[in-house]
Structure formats: C-alpha cells, structure tokens
Structure 1
Amino acid sequence: MNDGTQPPIRLVLTIEEAADRLGIGRTLMYALVSAGEVESVRIGRLRRVPADALVEYVRGLRGEAA
C-alpha cells in the first residue's frame, strides 16, 4: 500500500520511460518495440510498454547468452 511517501508503481510506461529503465536511447527503444522484441500495448492513441515486458525482454537476453 502506498503511504504517500513513494511515487505510485506504474503498470505501463511511455517509450521514453521504458528506454530510461533499460539504459538505452529512445530510438533503440522504438526499434525494439517496432520489431516486436519488447511487448507494447495501445491505450487509445497512446503506445505504452508494460513494465513487466522489460523484465521479460531482459530474461530473453540472458537466455540467449547462456
């Protein structure tokens, strides 16, 4: 439960926020979303990246390295 001292946990992120979390540029993030490597959803006219999609993407990268 949020007591007001921490920002709320967001379920979906903008492309820019998702790129920031991964530590990559916005252009690369758009490319990953366009290629279907990172899941995204449409909410009205907006494109958003589910926060857990970033975890799945990194898991996939780690699986490729093994």
Structure 2
Amino acid sequence: MSIAPVDLAPLTEDGHPLPVLLTVEEAARCLRIGRTTCYVLIRTGELESLTIRGLRRVPADAPAAYLARRRAEHRAV
C-alpha cells in the first residue's frame, strides 16, 4: 500500500505557510477598501466567503477572483 504525496502550502520568505483563509480585514486590505465595504461585497455575494464556527473568512484567492471579474466587466462595457 502506498501513500500519495501531500502538497504542502507554499511558504513565505520567512518559512511560514501562506494563508488559505483571510479575515475580512485582511481581505479588505488586499483590495484597498474599508472593512464595511468588504462586508457589503460579502453580503451581496460579490466576494466569496464562508463561516467557520461563527467566524467569517474569505478564501485567499477570492480577492483576486473578485478583481478579475470586475476587470472583465469593465472591458465588456
């Protein structure tokens, strides 16, 4: 019986794993918007998020995906 290799999370320069989930505040900083605006984007479904035991978290790739959609919408106009 063989064990499949497990991909480890990429590491930062100081050896810590890159985050998989962001707090709302961290996601807001990534997008250079306010926390309240970030919550509005989450509430309207524009920014993906999930709740883990009552804590709201944003997948680390969600801010980039949101920006990509906005850029595509802007090009289509």
| Identity level (%) | 45
- Are 1:22 and 2:25 an aligned pair? no
Runs in 1 of length 4+ with deviation above 6 angstroms? Answer: none
Work out whether residues 12 and 18 of structure 2, in 8 Å CA contact, stay in contact via their aligned partners in 1: no
Segments of structure 2 that go 5 or more residues without pairing to the other structure are 1-9
**Larger RCO (CA within 8 A; separation ≥ 6):** 1
Q: Secondary structure at the match of 1:42?
A: strand
TM-score, reference length from structure 1:
0.89
- Give the deviation of 1:3 after TM superposition: 7.9
RMSD: 1.8
TM-score, reference length from structure 2:
0.77
Q: Could you tell me which of 40, 48, 55 is aligned with 2:49?
A: 40
Q: Aligned residues, how many? A: 66
Segments of structure 1 that go 5 or more residues without pairing to the other structure are none
